[in-house]
Amino acid sequence: MIKPDVICFGEILWDVFPDRSVIGGAPLNVALRLASFGVNSAIASCVGDDEPGNIAAQYVQEHGVISDYIASHNELGTGKVLVTLDDSGSASYIINDPVAWDAIPPAPQIIEAVSQAPYFVFGSLALRNAFNRNTMKALLPKADTKIFDVNLRAPHYNISMVYELMQLSDVVKLNDEELLEVCVALGCEEKELLEQLKWLSEVSDTATLCVTQGAEGATLLHKGKLYRHPGFRVEVVDTVGAGDSFLATLIHEMLLKKSDPDTALASACAVGALVASKSGANCIVTEEEVLDLLAS
């Protein structure tokens, strides 16, 4: 069995658009993009004992993600999310509940794998119920570098849980709207994004905190120093999965390749922009496309 360098925990699901259904889920999208970079990535999840689940598990294998930690549930079905795109390509979601990924078991092999992997990625959505929160209690103490993708999806979260998870994490990624919501809820009085970022890093004791800002790029606070990239102008097709590919690229560049933060942030912005310029979260993005965009 191949030992993963990065384990992503959470939802495997089908994104159901008006005209098509595609396999997705934020942690799976991260794992898939990492695999496209040649990283040994794995997904710890649960699918239903049904045709959509079987197809999803096979898709994961075929696209180079380690699938040994995908459980099957004989009562709950494979997750589905209804996706609506507005005129600008921004997505809104209706997420079914409960589904198989709400019941990811703390299997001994998952606990062992997390204890051995250098990086562990998780989000808030998969922790919307008690079952997975209990599983996470078994996994987090075993994890080395913990990477938290805040990824707020109303009504499937509460800020107190999000804050607790931030305090337990080494790297936190969220978007500008999530940053504002979390800061306001926690009592931050700062009005500017940079000051909010510094405040949240301090109160949550998070050394590395990254905020994506849509077309305006991203800002990274890493070990007390701020890094900024203005982003790349592209014609947006849909934003589904763009943030996931951003995070995967940041992990690949800054943590695995040990690139400097400026280089890592630029690459992450480039890959995120290219994904937004195409249809689907797991579209093909070539190295040549990334280099061309960086050169521009």
Residues whose CB is less than 8 angstroms from the CB of residue 130 and which lie 6 or more positions away in sequence, other chains included: none
Domain assignment of residue 296, yes or no = no
CB atoms within 10 A of CB 163: 16
Residue range 54-75, pLDDT digits in tens = 999 999 999 999 999 999 999 9
Domain assignment of residue 295, yes or no = no
Q: Is the peptide bond before 52 cis (omega within 30 degrees of 0)?
A: no
What Å distances lie between residue 9 and 30, 96, 223, CA to CA?
10, 18, 26
Residue range 123-139, pLDDT digits in tens = 999 999 999 999 999 99
Domain assignment of residue 216, yes or no = yes
Domain assignment of residue 124, yes or no = yes
Q: What is the pLDDT of residue 6?
A: 98
H helices within 77-172, ranges in order? 108-116, 130-139, 159-167
Domain assignment of residue 223, given as a range: 6-289
Instruction: Indicate if the pLDDT at residue 179 is higher than 80.
Output: yes
Domain assignment of residue 43, yes or no = yes
Residue range 219-269, pLDDT digits in tens = 999 999 999 999 999 999 888 899 999 999 999 999 999 999 999 999 999
Helix (H) or strand (E) holding 24: strand 21-24
* Range of weakest confidence among 76-90, 136-150, 217-231: 76-90
Instruction: Indicate if the pLDDT at residue 1 is higher than 80.
Output: no
Instruction: Indicate if the pLDDT at residue 47 is higher than 70.
Output: yes
163 φψ region: left (φ > 0), alpha (ψ -120 to 50), beta (else): alpha
| Interior angle at CA 108, CA 106 and CA 111, nearest 5 | 70
What CATH number did the domain enclosing 29 receive?
3.40.1190.20
H helices within the chain, ranges in order? 26-36, 51-62, 108-116, 130-139, 159-167, 176-186, 193-204, 242-250, 261-276, 287-295
Domain assignment of residue 199, yes or no = yes
Q: What is the pLDDT of residue 89?
A: 67
What Å distances lie between residue 150 and 103, 124, 243, CA to CA?
20, 6, 11
Distance, in Å, from the CA atom of 275 to the CA atom of 269, rounded to the nearest integer, reads 10
Residues whose CB is less than 8 angstroms from the CB of residue 192 and which lie 6 or more positions away in sequence, other chains included: none
Q: What is the pLDDT of residue 195?
A: 96
Query: Can you say how many angstroms the Cα of residue 295 is from the centroid of all Cα atoms in its chain?
Result: 27
Q: What is the pLDDT of residue 135?
A: 98
Half-sphere exposure of 56 (CA within 13 A, CB side): 31
Domain assignment of residue 294, yes or no = no
Place of tokens 């050394």: 207
How many domains would you assign to the chain?
1
Domain assignment of residue 109, yes or no = yes
